């Protein structure tokens, strides 16, 4: 199978490329190096050492054989994406080439526009290029569980049967996202549903939970690391907590800490994406997965890091609560369904409670890098104070 | 009340400006003259004679007194819209400055991108400018009944109570639009809900039906005409049917013709918008109206035009069916609720069956203009054949 990974240089894109190579698939890589650039702009960086794009591609070939045809450019440029798709004619396309930080999208109007417009523009280009050049190919698109928000009812996988005033229909589940980034994913999902309706494109839209971890089967101590961000803009809560534990800072949970989210390990995320590629959506099918394993509150995550950290680091770790910079319910019902991937054969290999120890060990190993960015961990991006044009 | 009309040069924007002036309100006008330019590009034009923007503004002042402060520019330019809002500090803003043609958005990738990106970018700029400069102002934003699509259940006004797996919540009604244009309005509605949640902006999101008619109380034979488009890209079905009747062409209904839509007259649309402005959304309120009066099938509309036309024009009129260029159900359940405006005091003044006669008379009056564009009436924009980058 020939798979084009848009966003191959990112956290998940890179780990997926390694798995595909190892399993003998052809890999086409596309990236604009957007995330590297934007992370540098906030004076931060991956604490795992990542090689530059050409070197890491060579390194991957050395380890797993095969070759990655790499194209540097922006999916939001129609000419570029038509060129790549037309030249490579992939069987499957994994679209990860989007601005992927909620805090980044909330910094101000410029970042909100960039997130909404680039993410939407790239996805629109891609569905047109597919219908013109590879109408039978399968698109695996990364969305987020954050598209749903936290309604007071169960969350189905994409669609559900509604009864209203005595009549029934099966409709998309209403979404209510919590940042411009998350809304950009909602807009993408809507546009993908319509592209499927228009041209019968085969699409899997993945509502993914928060992914954690530094390792997969392919990523050992080999120079094949994927990026790992720990600042308030580009790192997730779990990453930040691990860095705080290692550097002897208090763990800072946002707000009351009872907000719950779905999680899965990087290893399991890659396994799910592989399953999605190997068992693609059928002809004319638009399908939605809720891709996560376990759900935890922020307080539970903080406790896991504290427990693991105190054992490994042999010191006391404090948990503190800081005013929540985000706009989110801090106590809510949360019960999203997630059966479809298991029905396809997915079995989780990892769990968060145990993996926390490995992450802390890795952060410890790269604590010199973590120390460089320690003043970038505390929240500075306040949702309600998103800057306007005048700022 | 000082009202800024974004899109003052358009079909509804102009008619609303006249009503506001006549009622003694201050009017600020903003337009990029986008619609004029795009209509010319497809070698078409308004068949009602419309003056250029500066002349029509002078004319309006002559008739109704008052003065319109006019700014020419693009709402999608943050600097421009911050300048206008900051200088004028309006009490209310009516946002009509969007690409408003479904067929235009389906011509090809370029037009799809333009529609999605411009409409979203303008609305995002506007909510940021409001929160920074006029946080207490009221935004009246034009959406469309087409955001909902045609579900097999009743359509509430924006939100409804869902019961799922034994639990209840009140959530936005799931939308399923039928063109990139209609989706751009869904994206706007989503972004507006979030802007309201973020900053408490007061917003009325109007899901408007198809508006018909050439006249309002203010638009008589005075040189104050608003535009009236009759080509396949910029004109509605009713407009096209009237022109076909007058020019002795068969009326061409798309497909089977049982597709139903909500309609209201230009006079009633303006009355509803005035009501929305005079009874604005409350503090922190995001409210949704379904703004239409009557719903009819395309076949019924065709019959009304045939009946009216045969009497007025004294000739036989043929109705034919052409392959549907759009992607829409041609037979479906349709029962959208529309109580909220009536509860606010709205009473419809017109009805379609009678107004058809006036429209036909006006088209007859300007039949020379209509004749110029007669080869632009038949459908050429085919939804599924939307052109890609290579075309």
Give the pLDDT confidence of B32-65 residue by residue, as tens digits: 999 999 999 989 999 999 999 999 999 999 999 9
Written as one string, the DSSP assignment of A248-276 is TPPEEEETTS--EEEEEEHHHHHHHHHHH
Average pLDDT of the segment spanning A148-163: 97
d(C-alpha A36, C-alpha A42), whole Å: 10
B248 three-state secondary structure: coil
Query: Tokens 């890609």 map to which residue?
Result: B388
Under 8 Å between Cβ of A171 and B174: yes
Q: Tell me what pLDDT residue B276 has.
A: 98
- The structure tokens listed for A49 are 């050492």
pLDDT tens-digit map of A221-244: 888 999 999 999 999 999 999 999
d(C-alpha A56, C-alpha B303), whole Å: 68
pLDDT tens-digit map of A183-227: 999 999 999 999 999 999 999 999 999 999 999 999 988 889 999
Phi, psi torsion values for A85, nearest 5 degrees: -65, -40
Assess whether pLDDT exceeds 90 at residue B23: yes
CA distance A311 to chain B (A): 41
d(C-alpha A208, C-alpha A276), whole Å: 13
Q: Tell me what pLDDT residue A223 has.
A: 85
ipTM of the modeled complex: 0.98
Q: Tell me what pLDDT residue A282 has.
A: 97
Assess whether pLDDT exceeds 80 at residue A286: yes
Which residues from chain B sit within 8 angstroms of residue A82, using beta carbons?
388-390
Say if the Cβ atoms of B327 and A132 lie within 8 Å: no
Note if B144 is an active site residue.
yes
Report the percentage of chain B scoring pLDDT > 90.
98
DSSP B377: S
Report the percentage of chain A scoring pLDDT > 70.
100
> CA nearest A213: which of A15, A3, A7?
A15
d(C-alpha B106, C-alpha B111), whole Å: 7
CB count in 10 Å sphere of residue A331 = 12
Q: Tell me what pLDDT residue B145 has.
A: 98
- Best mutation target, B194, B195, B332, to test chain A (most A CBs within 10 A): B194
d(C-alpha B145, C-alpha A377), whole Å: 45
Note if A144 is an active site residue.
yes
Assess whether pLDDT exceeds 70 at residue B333: yes
Q: Tell me what pLDDT residue B391 has.
A: 67
Note if A164 is an active site residue.
no
d(C-alpha A363, C-alpha A369), whole Å: 9
Assess whether pLDDT exceeds 90 at residue A120: yes
d(C-alpha B234, C-alpha B253), whole Å: 16
**Which residue of chain A has the CA closest to B173?**
A174
pLDDT, averaged across chain B:
97
DSSP A227: P
Q: Beta strands B68-72 and B26-31: pairing type? A: parallel
**Which residue of chain B has the CA closest to A197?**
B327
DSSP A146: G
Query: Tokens 């990112």 map to which residue?
Result: A10
**Which residue of chain B has the CA closest to A165?**
B154
> CA nearest B75: which of B126, B1, B13?
B126
Among candidates A82, A116, A176 on the partner chain, residue whose Cβ is nearest the Cβ of B120: A116
Domains observed in chain B = 2-234+263-294+336-352 (3.40.50.720)
Average pLDDT of the segment spanning A132-152: 98
d(C-alpha A301, C-alpha A297), whole Å: 6
Does this model's pTM top 0.90? My answer is yes
Assess whether pLDDT exceeds 90 at residue A354: yes
CB count in 10 Å sphere of residue B11 = 25
Q: Tell me what pLDDT residue A271 has.
A: 98
Question: B286-324 in b/e burial notation, b at 16+ Cβ within 10 A?
Answer: bbbbbbbbbbbbbbbbbbbbbebbeebbeeebebebeeb
Assess whether pLDDT exceeds 90 at residue B131: yes
Assess whether pLDDT exceeds 80 at residue A308: yes
Which residues from chain A sit within 8 angstroms of residue B197, using beta carbons?
327
pLDDT tens-digit map of B175-229: 999 999 999 999 999 999 999 999 999 999 999 999 999 999 999 888 899 999 9
Say if the Cβ atoms of B79 and A384 lie within 8 Å: no
Average pLDDT of the segment spanning A81-110: 98
Say if the Cβ atoms of A128 and B388 lie within 8 Å: yes
Among A144, A204, A216, A226, the one annotated catalytic: A144
Q: Tell me what pLDDT residue B390 has.
A: 80
pLDDT tens-digit map of A237-283: 999 999 999 999 999 999 999 999 999 999 999 999 999 999 999 99
The model's confidence at residue A391, banded by pLDDT at 50, 70 and 90, is low
pLDDT, averaged across chain A:
97
> CA nearest B286: which of B199, B198, B209, B192?
B192
Q: Tell me what pLDDT residue A32 has.
A: 98
Instruction: Report, in angstroms and rounded to the nearest whole number, the Rg of chain B calculated over CA atoms.
Output: 20
CA distance A326 to chain B (A): 10
Could you tell me the CA-to-CA distances from B390 to A80, B103, B244 in Å, in that order? 12, 20, 34
Question: Which residues is B169 bridged to in the sheet?
Answer: B162
- Best mutation target, B133, B198, B284, B324, to test chain A (most A CBs within 10 A): B198
Q: Where does chain B have alpha helices with state H?
A: 11-22, 34-41, 53-64, 78-88, 102-105, 109-133, 180-199, 237-246, 266-278, 298-313, 340-344, 352-365, 367-372
pLDDT tens-digit map of B274-287: 999 999 999 999 99
Say if the Cβ atoms of B386 and A128 lie within 8 Å: yes
Say if the Cβ atoms of A384 and B165 lie within 8 Å: no
């Amino acid at each position: 199978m020939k798979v084009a990974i848009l966003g191959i240089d990112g956290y998940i894109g890179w780990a997926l490329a390694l798995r595909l190579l190892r399993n003998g698939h052809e890999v086409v890589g596309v990236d604009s190096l957007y995330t590297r650039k934007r992370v540098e702009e906030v004076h931060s960086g991956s604490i795992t050492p990542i090689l530059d794009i050409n070197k890491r591609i060579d390194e991957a070939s050395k380890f797993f054989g095969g070759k990655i045809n790499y194209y540097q450019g922006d999916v939001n440029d129609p000419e570029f994406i038509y060129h790549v798709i037309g030249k490579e004619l992939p069987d499957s396309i994994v679209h990860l080439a989007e601005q992927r930080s909620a805090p980044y999208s909330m910094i101000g109007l410029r970042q909100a526009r960039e997130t909404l417009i680039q993410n939407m523009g790239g996805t629109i280009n891609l569905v047109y290029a597919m219908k013109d050049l590879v109408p039978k190919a399968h698109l695996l698109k990364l969305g987020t569980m954050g598209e749903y928000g936290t309604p007071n009812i169960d969350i189905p996988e994409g669609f559900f049967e509604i009864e209203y005033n005595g009549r029934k229909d099966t409709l998309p589940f209403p979404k209510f996202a919590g940042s411009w980034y998350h809304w950009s994913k909602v807009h993408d999902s809507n546009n993908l549903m319509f592209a499927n309706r228009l041209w019968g494109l085969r699409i899997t839209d993945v509502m993914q939970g928060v992914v954690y971890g530094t390792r997969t089967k392919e990523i050992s101590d080999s120079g094949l690391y994927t990026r790992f961000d720990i600042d308030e803009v580009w790192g997730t809560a779990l990453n930040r907590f691990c860095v705080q534990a290692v550097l002897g800072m208090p763990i800072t949970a946002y707000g009351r800490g009872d907000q719950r989210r779905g999680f899965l390990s990087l290893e399991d995320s890659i396994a799910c994406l592989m399953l999605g590629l190997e068992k693609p959506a059928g002809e004319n099918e638009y399908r939605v997965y809720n891709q996560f394993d376990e759900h935890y509150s922020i307080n539970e995550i903080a406790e896991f890091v504290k427990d693991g950290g105190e054992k490994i680091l042999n010191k006391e770790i404090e948990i503190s609560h800081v005013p929540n910079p985000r706009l989110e319910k801090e106590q809510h019902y949360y019960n999203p369904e997630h059966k479809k991937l298991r029905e396809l054969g997915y079995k989780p290999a990892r769990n968060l409670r145990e993996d926390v120890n490995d992450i802390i060990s890795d952060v410890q190993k790269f604590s010199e890098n973590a120390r460089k960015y320690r003043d970038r961990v505390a929240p500075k991006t306040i949702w309600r104070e998103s800057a306007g044009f005048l700022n």
